Structure formats: C-alpha cells, structure tokens
A and B are shown apart, each in its own frame.
Chain A
C-alpha cells in the first residue's frame, strides 16, 4: 500500500503556534543536504505531539514502531507536504496511516477507528493551543505539559499516588495493587478515575477539545 499525502485530520482549524514556521520549509527533494537538517528540526518540534497522538491511537506496545515508520514515510513524502498547512497534523496524519497499515499486518494490534482518531487529533490540537501563564505562544508541546502539573497537584491523594506509581515510577498495576493491598481491578479503576479527573481539569483550561458540552472539570 502506498501512502497518500496526509491531510489535517477533521475540519477543526489547526492554527498551531509554530516555533518553526512551516512556511520556511523549502519544497525540495529530500536529497538536498539541508532538507535533512530542516526536517529533523521540524520532527523534533512535533515529536511529543506525534508520540502522544500515536500512543492515544494505538497504545504503547507499537508506538515506537509507528513513530519511526512515520518519520521515514514523512521523509520520503516530504515533497508532497503542503507548506501552507501546519506540519504537525500532516505528520500525525501519516502516523494514522502507518498505524492502519501496521494493523493490517499484525492481527493482535488494536488501532482506534477514524472517528476516534479525529477526536484524538482535536485533543492534540487543543493541547497545542493551550497557553501557560507567563509563557509566550511559541512553546513546545513538552512545555505545555506543565499545564498537567497544576491538575496533578489538585488530584486527591488516593488518585495522585496511583498516577505517580503508574507513570512516574512505571510500575505495573499488579505491583501497585500488591503495594497498596488492593486488587488489580480496583487500582485500574482508580487510575481511570484519576485520568478522567485530569481530563476534566485540562478541559477546564482549554487544553482538551471541548466535546463534553463545555462542562468545567471537577478539578479546574
């Protein structure tokens, strides 16, 4: 299967603040020695958003595979990139196609349906628009993740602890369950609840697509 030139997902305007102006990307064959460097700068700028999109769409197991393949395909198709459009959504569109292609060859791999991918893209785009107090608009996705700190600090202790254990300490659910003397299912539910609270909090900050009727999050 060939990869068609990817377009922005969904019809949400994706006026993503850019540290690197996509208008400066030359339309040149990838054999140009400067193209490789420019391409790397762009990919680095968008790597975190790309990885978040991939993880949300297909989970963690194959995320590194899809990330790498996306970079390779994007490089091969760089001449197809429309400079008037933002680079991030183009890259994430390729990731979606790469994930679908990979899924077609790996039976056990789960990939989100197109509507879910659209919803993920809206969330990523919303996150890329979020303003952090005191920071300029040209901030990276990673810097925007600081918005999470405030939400994390508002989590009740029982939820904050399980989030720290699962994500910061990278512990398995079974391991956390043993440590907290709970069953695994209870830990899983607690973690889901914590993520839901965080999503509400981020939505309250405008960092999540407003698809839940504009409800303000419980933590916001």
Chain B
C-alpha cells in the first residue's frame, strides 16, 4: 500500500466528510441485534468454510455471500441466524457463488411487479402437501396432496386444485369479482374476503399467496435470506438458478421457511417451496377439495365482518394492539363474540390451517384465453 499521503480537493473532502458522517450516524442508530446478526453471519460463514477445509470437502472459496433482507432487521435470535447460516454452508460448499440475496429478490420483485402491472400472464404448477392429520379412530391417516395450477394475469388470479385425477375445484379472484367452480361443476360468485386462506400475510396485511410480488415482498421484509447457486440440493431443472433460502426473522404470519429459485437473467421466480414446520391438522377427518360436507359451510355473518386472519401460531398479537385486518372495534352493545376458527366459510379448496408444504413451479410460455378469469355464465 502506498504510504504517501494522498490529498483530496476541498469538494472531495466535503463529500468524504459527508460519507463518513453518514456512516457514523448509521452506526450510532443501529440496534445491537442488527450488529450482532452481521457478525454472527460472518462467523457462521467462516466456520462453514473452516469445517469444509477440515473435512477436505472443498477448497477455500474466494467469496461467500450471506445477505440479510431489510437493512433494519429486527430481533433475530443469534443462535437461529448462526444455525441457518451453518445449514446453508452445505450449499455454499458445493456451489460457491458470490451474490446478494437482497439484490436478487429486489430485482425479481421489480420484474414480478411490472409483469403484474403490464398484465403479463404467468402459470405456476402447484402442489400442496397437507399436514398429517391428528389420529383418527383408525389410526393416523396420511393427508392427501393437492395438485393443480395457479394462473396470474394482472390483478387476476385463478387456482385450480385437485386431490385426485377426477375433477378439480377452481377459485378465481379478478377485478370483476371472485367466483368458484366446485368439483361438481357448480359455479357461484364468492365474497372476495373469503376467497383465500390467510396463512401468509405480511405486516401490511397483504396476502402473499395471491401474488408472487407480494410473496417476494414478504421475504424482503420479514425473512432472513441467504443465496447460493443451485446445485445438487435442488431439482435438476432448477440447477444453475439462484437458490434463495429464507427463514422467518420477524413475527410475520407466514411459513417458517421459504425457498425460491430465481432465474437471474430474467429475474423471474422459477420455483418456490414454502414450509410450515410442524404443521398438524388437529381435526382429523377428510379435507381437501372434496373434504367438506355441504352442510359444513358456514355462511358469512351479516352482523359482523369476516374474521380476516388467523391468530399466528406463535401467539403473536396483531401489531400495535390493533385487531386483525377487517375486524372492527367492538359495537356499542358489548364486545364481539369470539372469532370463528374457520374464517373461510366457502367450502373446499385450500384448508384454513397452513399446509405442511406448498410448492410452486413456473410453467412457460403461457397465454390464457380471454375469458380465463371470467365467471362462466349459467346456461
């Protein structure tokens, strides 16, 4: 390094002072958790590299990138952060690649948002692994998987799901209204408030399951994300894309872990895996597209708004002591009755409790018929 003193102009000096002051202010107001998290990530990466060298499983890498989501991350327990980073070490050992999870997500978010605003069409293959049911009189029952497609165009979304080869249920949200086609072919309009379950909701109340951009925003805001080039740990068709693994860092209503595979050339999400660890259906009994008996359906109550969100499993209370979105203040006559457990009165489709896993895989190219999201007219 050159030991000569290199002077800078007055303007440059002012700019340097400004940058330095900016850095000092950022340090001054940074909370301890963010600082600890940064150090923990760095040393988790160091340990992962060290362990790899010790095992001889890889040569020293020049670069490792483990990047957090938002700049102001909140209370992430250090142990969890370190554990996650170490777990991800395996990925880095196999396929080291310098990248920046935040930037990748941001770029994908821009693309997904612009696709939405430009009414671009997207189709995802969907696979829902339901949680194992609680024991039934005949013993534990393996819950079925639901498979289908999720179609998006602009503000419209259409989900077709089936539990088997014979028929599927369709749910559509569109600016013209929400509707459903049941497995028996019956078509009816739906109240959009009960269209989708709310296992995933970001702090602003957006339902991430409806839109890929909202899912990315949820990851950006409430998850700690790390990235590596997808390798052997990923399905063959996704290898070479960027593999983002995100774990919930804040008290957000959403899956415990979200994995994304992103094509960084086009900045599109190729696949996603959402996992709810330890999700169990406590009720037993058949569920799924054909699960609910007709009489099971609970109509919307006219005397109070629909309960618009489950209580999070970890006991989190709504922010700022506010009631869940859609829940109004108690009427003058007294407090509201206890909220319904099943806030989604419309039958069938996705269960009101989180599944164990939700898989999405982009299918392309796709172009939908003009009336793909339009409610069929009764003949």
Closest chain A residue to B65, Cβ basis? A65
C-alpha gap A48/B278 in the complex (Å): 39
A115 at the interface (CB under 8 A from B): yes
A72 at the interface (CB under 8 A from B): yes
In the complex with contacts A51-B38, A68-B41, A142-B27, A115-B12 CB distance below 8 A: yes
Contact across chains for B19 and A120 when beta carbons are under 8 A apart? yes
B189 at the interface (CB under 8 A from A): no
Chain A residue total in the interface (Cβ 8 A):
66
B4, B19, B24, B28 — most chain A CB neighbours (10 Å): B24
Contact across chains for A167 and B26 when beta carbons are under 8 A apart? yes
Contact across chains for B49 and A208 when beta carbons are under 8 A apart? no
C-alpha gap A176/B134 in the complex (Å): 51
Contact across chains for A112 and B19 when beta carbons are under 8 A apart? yes
B22: chain A residues at CB < 8 Å are 55-56, 195
C-alpha gap A9/B42 in the complex (Å): 24
Contact across chains for B100 and A65 when beta carbons are under 8 A apart? yes
C-alpha gap A67/B65 in the complex (Å): 10
Contact across chains for A115 and B38 when beta carbons are under 8 A apart? no
Contact across chains for A167 and B64 when beta carbons are under 8 A apart? no
Q: How far is the CB of B370 from chain A (nearest CB, A)?
A: 38
Contact across chains for A145 and B66 when beta carbons are under 8 A apart? no
A31, A43, A52, A93 — most chain B CB neighbours (10 Å): A52
B39: chain A residues at CB < 8 Å are 43-44, 47
Q: How far is the CB of A97 from chain B (nearest CB, A)?
A: 9
Closest chain A residue to B37, Cβ basis? A64
Contact across chains for A62 and B100 when beta carbons are under 8 A apart? yes
Q: How far is the CB of A196 from chain B (nearest CB, A)?
A: 7
C-alpha gap A71/B42 in the complex (Å): 7
Contact across chains for B46 and A196 when beta carbons are under 8 A apart? no
B236 at the interface (CB under 8 A from A): no
Contact indicator per residue, chain B 4-39, by CB within 8 Å of chain A (1) or not (0): 111110001111111111111111110000010011
A87: chain B residues at CB < 8 Å are none
Contact across chains for A199 and B17 when beta carbons are under 8 A apart? yes
Give the dominant DSSP class at A's interface: helix
Contact indicator per residue, chain B 123-141, by CB within 8 Å of chain A (1) or not (0): 0000000000000000000
Contact across chains for A211 and B13 when beta carbons are under 8 A apart? yes
A76 at the interface (CB under 8 A from B): yes
C-alpha gap A202/B7 in the complex (Å): 21
Q: How far is the CB of B44 from chain A (nearest CB, A)?
A: 10
In the complex with contacts A69-B63, A72-B64, A75-B46, A196-B18 CB distance below 8 A: yes
Other-chain contact of A48, B1, B12, B27, B50 (Cβ < 8 Å): B27
Closest chain B residue to A36, Cβ basis? B50
B17, B35, B98 — most chain A CB neighbours (10 Å): B17
Contact across chains for B28 and A145 when beta carbons are under 8 A apart? yes
Closest chain A residue to B85, Cβ basis? A68
Residues 28-71 of A at the B interface (beta carbon under 8 Å):
30-31, 36, 40, 43-44, 47-48, 51-57, 59-62, 64-65, 67-69, 71
A10 at the interface (CB under 8 A from B): yes
Contact across chains for B26 and A115 when beta carbons are under 8 A apart? no
A6: chain B residues at CB < 8 Å are 1
B329: chain A residues at CB < 8 Å are none
In the complex with contacts A10-B3, A11-B4, A65-B65, A192-B18 CB distance below 8 A: yes
Contact across chains for A115 and B65 when beta carbons are under 8 A apart? no
A198 at the interface (CB under 8 A from B): yes
In the complex with contacts A11-B3, A211-B13, A55-B26 CB distance below 8 A: yes
In the complex with contacts A65-B67, A112-B19, A148-B24 CB distance below 8 A: yes
B23, B27, B65 — most chain A CB neighbours (10 Å): B23
C-alpha gap A54/B42 in the complex (Å): 15
B19: chain A residues at CB < 8 Å are 55-57, 59, 112, 116, 120
B2 at the interface (CB under 8 A from A): yes
Closest chain B residue to A203, Cβ basis? B17
Contact across chains for B43 and A40 when beta carbons are under 8 A apart? yes
A135 at the interface (CB under 8 A from B): no
A40: chain B residues at CB < 8 Å are 43
Residues 165-220 of A at the B interface (beta carbon under 8 Å):
166-168, 170, 192, 195-196, 198-199, 202, 208, 211-212
Closest chain A residue to B47, Cβ basis? A36
Contact across chains for B35 and A48 when beta carbons are under 8 A apart? yes
C-alpha gap A6/B68 in the complex (Å): 27
B20, B29, B38 — most chain A CB neighbours (10 Å): B20
A202: chain B residues at CB < 8 Å are 21, 24
In the complex with contacts A163-B25, A198-B25, A208-B20 CB distance below 8 A: yes
Q: How far is the CB of B259 from chain A (nearest CB, A)?
A: 21
A67: chain B residues at CB < 8 Å are 38, 42
With A71-B42, A167-B29 given, name 9 new contacts (CB 8 A).
A7-B1, A31-B54, A51-B35, A52-B26, A55-B22, A55-B27, A123-B16, A170-B72, A199-B18
Top 9 closest A-B pairs, CB basis?
Answer: A55-B23, A115-B6, A195-B21, A56-B23, A71-B42, A7-B1, A52-B23, A167-B29, A199-B17
Q: Could you list some 26 contacts between A and B, CB below 8 A?
A: A7-B3, A11-B5, A43-B39, A48-B27, A52-B23, A53-B23, A56-B22, A56-B23, A59-B19, A60-B26, A64-B41, A69-B63, A71-B43, A72-B63, A76-B60, A112-B19, A114-B6, A115-B6, A118-B6, A119-B8, A119-B16, A141-B27, A145-B28, A167-B25, A195-B18, A199-B21
